[in-house]
Amino acid sequence: MFKPQFSPLHDAIQHEHPYAKWCDVQDMPVFLHLINPAKELELAKILALADASFLPRIVLKGPGAAAYLQSLGIPIPEGLLKVAPLKNGGLIARTGGSEFFLESGPVGWPSQAAADGLRSPSYKEGVYPVLRQDASLVISGSRAGEMFRHISSYDFIGEQHGDLVFTPIAGVTCSVLRTTLKGRPVFRLWTDGTYGTYIWHTLLEVAKELDGGAVGTAVFFPELASKDNQP
């Protein structure tokens, strides 16, 4: 399973926040806090964006994909675009009849068997891995739905279900999921890494107009805060 060395958003965030606190998580630099942590927590109540591209992810597809995942102890969502949680905070989404998108939690895959099986250089017959180099965002706050209305025709305010949604965001195809993290209502957004910087800047511009802004990853994954390796 290929994993890039840096987030697609790394350079943009580092340029905008050169004094951000960071750490290495799963072999990728992660910006823990961009500004004052207390202010970031307040922003998260209004409208906040954070980079979550450090989380490993993979797509498995093919007629044997479901059975293979079950053999690793991974639950299979029953319907198309349905999402199921994984242990350790990850998730699996059914993106096709025999296609599955998986993302680990911040501390890794749900078990050693799953970790070994998903990074395997050779899969069983009928199971095919697909390279994913996504830019991944977490978005929270009471004005998050309002932000989406500026850049998408999909009604994220009216729709309350927790299915995965494929829709253009600012003209770029994205996957969006309404879910919770640590009990906090959030949106998760994934898009091709080559569009990551554009999506980040576009969403951030709208967020600032709505009294929101960028925050560090530790706002949504507080267990990472103890990994701070800067003075």
For residue range 20-51, what is the model confidence (pLDDT) as tens digits?
A: 999 998 889 999 999 999 999 999 999 999 99
Band of pLDDT at residue 120, cut at 50, 70 and 90: confident
Which of the listed residues 130, 148, 179 is the one where a domain comes to its end?
A: 130
Determine the length of the chain.
231
Domain that holds residue 194: 10-55+133-227
- Three-class DSSP category at 187: strand
Going by C-alpha positions, the residue among 105, 171, 115 that lies closest to residue 138 is 105
Confidence of residue 3 (pLDDT cuts 50, 70, 90): low
How large is the average pLDDT for residues 189-200? 97
Query: What is the total count of domains within the chain?
Result: 2
pLDDT for residue 230: 47
Q: Is the pLDDT of residue 4 over 90?
A: no
121 and 104 both lie in a single domain = yes
Helix, coil or strand: residue 121: coil
* Boundary of a domain, candidates 130, 151, 166: 130
Q: What percent of the chain has pLDDT over 70?
A: 95
Decide: helix, strand or coil at residue 215: coil
Q: Indicate if 141 and 200 belong to the same structural domain.
A: yes
**Average pLDDT of span 60-76:** 96
Whether residue 152 is found in the same domain as residue 44: yes
Euclidean distance between the first and the last CA atom of the chain, given in angstroms as a whole number: 33
The residue with greater pLDDT, 133 or 8, is 8
Are residue 219 and residue 155 in the same domain, yes or no?
A: yes
Q: Residue 79 maps to which CATH number?
A: 3.30.70
pLDDT of residue 27: 83
The CA-based angle 201-203-205, given to 5 degrees, is 65
Supply the pLDDT for residue 2. Answer: 52
Output the pLDDT for position 173: 96
How far is Cα 219 from Cα 225, in angstroms, rounded to an integer? 9
Answer yes or no: do 50 and 146 share one domain.
yes
Distance CA(36)–CA(134), nearest Å, equals 27
Do 222 and 169 lie in one domain? The reply is yes
pLDDT tens digits, residue range 121-131? 788 899 999 98
Separation between Cα atoms, residue 189 and residue 108, nearest integer Å = 19
Mean pLDDT of the chain: 92
Please give the distance of CA 189 from its chain centroid, rounded to a whole number.
Answer: 6
Which of 106, 130, 154 terminates a domain? The answer is: 130
pLDDT of 231 = 37
